[in-house]
Amino acid sequence: MASKSAHMFRNTRITVVTMAKRHFANGFSHNGKVLTLDSMNEHIKKVEYAVRGPIVVRAGAIRKELEQGAQKPFKEVISANIGDAHAMGQAPITFLRQVVALCVYPDLLKTNNFPDDAKDRAQRILDGCGGGSIGAYSASQGVEIIRNDVANYIERRDGGLKSDPNNIFLCTGASDGVVAMLKLLVSGEGASRTGAMIPIPQYPLYSATLAELNAKMVPYYLDEDNNWALDIEELQRAFDEGEKICLPRVLCVINPGNPTGQVLSRDNVVEIIKFAKQNHLFLMADEVYQDNVYAEGCAFHSFKKVLYDLGPEYSDHVELASFHSISKGYMGECGFRGGYMETINLDHKVKEQLRKLVSCRLCPPVTGQAALEVIVNPPQQGEPSFEKFDAEKRAVLGTLAEKARLTAEMFNSIPGIHCNTVQGAMYSFPRIEIPERAVRKAETCGMQPDAFYAHELLEETGICIVAGSGFGQKPGTYHFRMTILPPIDMMRSLFKLFRDFHLGFLEKYKE
């Protein structure tokens, strides 16, 4: 009997110890939680997204402090950190909102409050939806008639070059397509791990996604002294360096550039395509700012069009995914989360895997798809809504062009700041001088010097920008990204605040 009791005691003790070890392994024993910093996915910890980082969090806190009556040197926070056009006062395109409103509440089709072409567009979209309702799931690749219209839009954009709707994937904004494609591309271990060539400065979506996927980022630097041009010799340098630690398989290009605002020449696009073919790279073309080209002598050249212009040697072989979005352009409809991806020369078996991957998310928001439909199938001359639509579009793009010019002019008038011409997109990326004393002060605060600068700017003026270190920059240089979206009157007052702050900052931290 005693022997049996001792045996039971030993078994119980072993079970308790085993459970304790298991609890310790999954983090339970630390604070009673299964999910802890120690037990969570370690790759997520490496993800950073400066556009909505600590400076933006602080800006939100200051905004609440002002609402509660706190005394500050300013009366409002100016969110110049993000390309959110409507948040900065840009008016929506009337026709787009009319069509989406009719889709969301079809009873409005019975009223006389909307033009006939808006009603026709809305009814056509609804006819393509399950049960005639925008509340139904769509196919995972997107509503068929909208994909067809996206293909037609691409054909018109590229001078009649054929676009296959089966190569079109509607997305939750362009970002969703970028992430899906990178997921397909990442594979291997160690020296064979996928490397992705990313421009520096870059849009942090790329570095964040690569960190999450535990892929290797292969940075190539844009040439700031040549208005952020993309230099092929620099691409080759980066590729050669990348081969030492990984297997470079993908080349990402942002055109027009974010955060740098440059627009690639056609000759440059040709060079990039040839480089991709020569080095057997999958080409990802982020073209969400294709409507945002302002500088004289600049024009948007789609990678697909140039690829086919080069003939079968390239068009039959180079694999390309290109992306567009309704969040930018003249639309600025960030909240609808609509966009598309077109794939070229994708292996048909891989395309099936892509369809499977996007089906896991069921479908993109159908309201976003409806908004995208308006952009790829806008009112035509002779239709009731054409004149108003065209006037609103031209007004938005014209104002953005003026603000792009004003941005570079005003920044370059401030000693210690240099800003390249904003050729396109929605941002400037000025280089700033930061005194050595301020650099040392930033180090004591555990901050990058340009992040310290951005923090001081926010606390003294209420202007929220994003530090250049969040996008990447050449060592020893300091920048920040600021959107060109604020209304012109606000921009003029903003630049006065900026000038006063920057000169005061230089004086405050001079040796």
What are the residue ranges spanned by the domains of the chain? 11-40, 50-88+390-508, 156-363
Written as six digits, the tokens of 154 are 């691409």
Cα–Cα distance, 168 to 350 (Å, whole number): 14
**Alpha carbons 83 and 424: distance in angstroms, whole number:** 13
- The pLDDT of 65-75, averaged and rounded, is 82
Q: Which two tokens stand for residue 33?
A: 């939680």
Write the pLDDT tens digit of every residue in 328-383. 989 888 888 899 999 999 999 888 888 888 777 788 889 999 999 999 999 999 99
Q: pLDDT confidence of 26, banded at 50, 70, 90? A: very low
47 phi and psi, to 5 degrees?
A: -75, 130
Q: How many CA atoms does the CB half-sphere of 201 hold within 13 Å?
A: 29
C-alpha to C-alpha distances, 71 to 64, 68, 76, 147, 465, nearest whole angstrom: 12, 9, 11, 52, 21
CB atoms within 10 A of CB 280: 11
Is the predicted pLDDT of residue 235 greater than 90, yes or no?
yes
Residue 413: name the closest of 481, 503, 347 by CA: 503
- Residues 90 and 331: their CA atoms lie apart, in Å, by 9
Please state, in angstroms and rounded to a whole number, the distance separating the CA atoms of residues 291 and 300: 8
**Residue 77 pLDDT exceeds 70:** yes
pTM of the shown model: 0.85
Query: Residue 195 class from Cβ within 10 Å (0-12 exposed, 13-18 middle, 19+ buried)?
Result: buried
Summarize pLDDT for 378-415 with one digit per residue, the tens. 999 999 999 999 999 999 999 999 999 999 999 999 99
- pLDDT, residue 102, reads 96
Q: Which CATH number fits domain 50-88+390-508: 3.90.1170.50, 3.40.50.11540, 3.90.1150.10, 3.30.70.1150?
A: 3.90.1150.10
* DSSP three-state, residue 198: strand
CA distance 385 to 387: 6
Which distant-in-sequence residues (6+ apart) come within 8 Å of 62 by Cβ?
72, 77, 458, 459, 462
Q: What does pLDDT average to over the chain?
A: 87
- Rounded CA-CA distance 259/253 in Å is 12
Instruction: Output the pLDDT for position 175.
Output: 84
| DSSP-assigned beta bridge partners for residue 479 | 431
Query: Residue with structure tokens 């202007």?
Result: 463
Q: Please report the DSSP string for 52-81 in residue order.
A: GSHHHHHHHHHHHHHHTT---SSSS-EE-S
- 105-145 pLDDT, tens digit per residue, is 999 999 999 999 999 999 999 999 888 988 888 877 889 99
Comparison of pLDDT for 285 and 74, the residue scoring more: 285
Tell whether the model's pLDDT for residue 63 goes beyond 90: no
The topology under which CATH files domain 156-363 is: Aspartate Aminotransferase; domain 2 (3.40.640)
List pLDDT tens digits, range 452-510. 999 999 988 988 888 888 888 888 899 999 999 888 888 888 888 889 999 999 988 88
Find the mean pLDDT for residues 232-254. 94
Q: Averaged over 193-199, what is the pLDDT?
A: 92
Q: Lowest-pLDDT range, 201-215, 246-260, 451-465? A: 201-215
